[in-house]
Amino acid sequence: PPTFKSLFQNVANPPEKIESVCGWIKSVRLMKKMAFVDLQDGTTPYPLKVIIRRDGNDLDSQLLKQLRTGQSLRVKDALWKPTPTRQQPFELEASVSSFQIIGQVCDTYPLQKKYHSLAYLRSNPVLKHRSNYLGALMRFRSQVETSLIRFFNEHDFTKVSPPVLTSGDCEGAGELFRVESNSRLTDKSSYFGAPTYLTVSTQLHLEVLAMALNRCWTLTPCFRAEESDTNRHLAEFWMLEAEMCFVDNVQDLTMFAESMFKFVVQQCLLNQAILLPSVIPPENADDSETIIARWKSLLASEWPRLTYSAAIELLLKQHAIEEFKFIPEWGKDLKSEHEKWLASHLQSPVFVTDYPRDCKAFYMKQNTDNTVACFDLIVPQMGEVIGGSIREDEYDTLMQELSRRGMKHNDLEWYTSLRQNGSVPHGGFGLGLERFVSWLFGAHNIRDAIPFHRSAGGSID
Ligand code: 4AD
Ligand code: MG
């Protein structure tokens, strides 16, 4: 059967009769001679209206009375009725003999036409995606991923698939999930003969691949045993990571990241009619007008760049006017409250560059003043969405940095040896997909931007 999306796209050239359409009943209203059924099939933000007419005998009305919200339904031989004066340009009309209930529904089916809060929907992970809002969010995420694929293809990047099982902690933050095996051949923790972890970032392997492919990218699940249980942290999230050779300065990287971000926004604007939810959004979420206004404003100008030192100066000035919970101090990482203030003060996404080296990971290219050639992209309300850097490409400097941090050289030999074999200046970044998607969509909790969220203390199916 045709999807609703294809029917709505065909409005200019409608068929007279549609052999079959299938979907789930969103709501049903029973009248004396007919039933008004709102069907959804998951491909559009709005339902398809179907009028089912009875011929007038009692059996007909018995059949119509069986219709319930949540049932799956097939409607055959429906007629196409234009409704130019209404919000939806057409509806379907069918006779009572032409519908068939495919799947029944429990009496306790929890999703009714009334408004459901996000907290309530999250408590029902199996059915929640059928809600108008969360269904729209999943389609939106898919659109964002599709746009990213296009962007990287257009810039000659190779899509790669780095491993998820790793031996090390790329970011050095100690937030690892350790993996054990149930194999009878080895004891639980020595399947690979060494401790094994789920990856926190695929960057190191991406650097290996970039040295062969020049430009590569991936979209991979990453895992962090975060201690912070906030609306911006997941234990399992998807990271887009890009790595490119022959770039030697942060400004070029930020320009590239900005053009990627803006490309996705342009695609969102082009597809807005099919992307945005058709109902008033749930608590705390932005409505469609606010979302579109944000997308347009993102494209209006080039985003500001600020060094970390300049950011600290601004934050200290603000601290004198209205105190932050944490005092901004050169040498300490920016807290989420500082990031949020900076971006809302500048009313724009902002690139903060050149952080002190002790705030960041071991692999970043060192500047001459104890800072590193890195950037974070910070957006209003959310804070950091992208983190990236130029990588240290000189063998001796990298080895000294490992020693300074007390890291074992042996463990990373596979990685550091890259600097001895045709090393080139290179850099890249990682974007948290759920942060990106939820921020663009005006959803205030990134848990809603992933189908099944895993976070500290939560249950897992
Ligand atoms: O800033 P991070 O830690 O950078 C890296 O891991 C680099 N190795 C990436 C690279 O250069 N290839 O993480 C990158 C992004 C963050 O900006 C954030 O958007 C997201 O990943 N992120 C999380 N998203 C959801 N839940 C978490 N627990 C996250 N931790 C990081
Ligand atoms: Mg970061």
Kindly report, residue by residue over 108-143, the tens digit of the pLDDT: 898 887 778 898 999 999 999 999 999 999 999 999
Name the burial class of residue 408, with classes exposed (0-12), middle (13-18) and buried (19+) by CB atoms within 10 angstroms of its CB.
exposed
Q: Please give the model's pTM, rounded to 2 decimal places.
A: 0.96
State yes or no: pLDDT of 87 exceeds 80. Answer: no
Question: What is the pLDDT averaged over residues 234-249?
Answer: 98
3-state secondary structure of 371: strand
| Calculated CA dihedral for residues 23, 25, 30, 33, nearest 10 degrees | 0
Contact at 8 Å (CB) between 24 and 71?
yes
Confidence band, pLDDT 50/70/90 cuts, at residue 184 = confident
Confidence band, pLDDT 50/70/90 cuts, at residue 327 = very high
ipTM greater than cut 0.95: yes
Contact at 8 Å (CB) between 48 and 14?
no
Ligand 1 neighbour 375 (Cβ under 6 A): no
Question: What is the pLDDT averaged over residues 235-249?
Answer: 98
Residue with tokens 């005998």: 57
Q: What per-residue confidence (pLDDT) applies to 293?
A: 96
Q: What per-residue confidence (pLDDT) applies to 113?
A: 74
Distance CA 208, CA 270 (A): 36
Atom index in ligand 1 nearest the CA of residue 429 equals 11
Ligand 1 neighbour 372 (Cβ under 6 A): no
State yes or no: pLDDT of 256 exceeds 80. Answer: yes
Q: What per-residue confidence (pLDDT) applies to 182?
A: 86
The ligand whose atoms approach the alpha carbon of 365 most closely is 1
From the CA of 293, how far away is ligand 1's center (Å)?
27
Helix (H) / strand (E) containing 400: helix 395-404
Atom index in ligand 1 nearest the CA of residue 435 equals 19
Q: What per-residue confidence (pLDDT) applies to 393?
A: 98
Ligand 1 neighbour 428 (Cβ under 6 A): yes
3-state secondary structure of 189: coil
Q: What per-residue confidence (pLDDT) applies to 32?
A: 86
Q: What backbone phi and psi angles, to 5 degrees, belong to 391?
A: -95, 150
Distance CA 309, CA 307 (A): 5
State yes or no: pLDDT of 63 exceeds 90. Answer: no
State yes or no: pLDDT of 278 exceeds 80. Answer: no
Q: What per-residue confidence (pLDDT) applies to 176?
A: 94
Which tokens in the block code for residue 114?
């009334």
State yes or no: pLDDT of 244 exceeds 90. Answer: yes
State yes or no: pLDDT of 391 exceeds 90. Answer: yes
Residues 6+ apart with CB under 8 A from 444: 231, 284, 285, 381, 438
Kindly report, residue by residue over 13-45, the tens digit of the pLDDT: 888 889 999 999 999 999 888 999 999 999 999
Q: What per-residue confidence (pLDDT) applies to 6?
A: 92
Confidence band, pLDDT 50/70/90 cuts, at residue 457 = confident
Helix (H) / strand (E) containing 298: helix 288-300
3-state secondary structure of 127: coil
282-286, 309-313, 429-433 — which is least confidently predicted?
282-286
Q: Bridge partners of 50?
A: 37, 92
Q: Bridge partners of 27?
A: 38
Nearest CA to ligand 1 atom 9: 430
Q: What per-residue confidence (pLDDT) applies to 78?
A: 93
Name the burial class of residue 32, with classes exposed (0-12), middle (13-18) and buried (19+) by CB atoms within 10 angstroms of its CB.
exposed
Q: What per-residue confidence (pLDDT) applies to 128?
A: 93
Question: What is the pLDDT averaged over residues 77-84?
Answer: 88
Beta strands in 194-304 (DSSP E): 197-198, 215-223, 236-245
Name the burial class of residue 359, with classes exposed (0-12), middle (13-18) and buried (19+) by CB atoms within 10 angstroms of its CB.
middle
Nearest CA to ligand 1 atom 7: 430
Nearest CA to ligand 1 atom 27: 233
Ligand 1 neighbour 239 (Cβ under 6 A): yes
The share of the chain scoring above pLDDT 90, in percent, equals: 76
Q: What per-residue confidence (pLDDT) applies to 11?
A: 83
Q: What per-residue confidence (pLDDT) applies to 115?
A: 79
Q: Please, what is the average pLDDT of the chain?
A: 93
Question: What is the pLDDT averaged over residues 300-310?
Answer: 97
Q: What per-residue confidence (pLDDT) applies to 377?
A: 98
Q: What per-residue confidence (pLDDT) applies to 341?
A: 97
Eight-state DSSP code of residue 96: G
| Residue in 381, 135, 140 with CA at minimum distance from that of residue 282 | 135
Q: What per-residue confidence (pLDDT) applies to 403?
A: 96
Could you count the other beta carbons within 10 Å of the beta carbon of residue 246?
A: 12
State yes or no: pLDDT of 208 exceeds 90. Answer: yes
Question: What is the pLDDT averaged over residues 332-341?
Answer: 96
Q: What per-residue confidence (pLDDT) applies to 69?
A: 95
Distance CA 174, CA 205 (A): 19
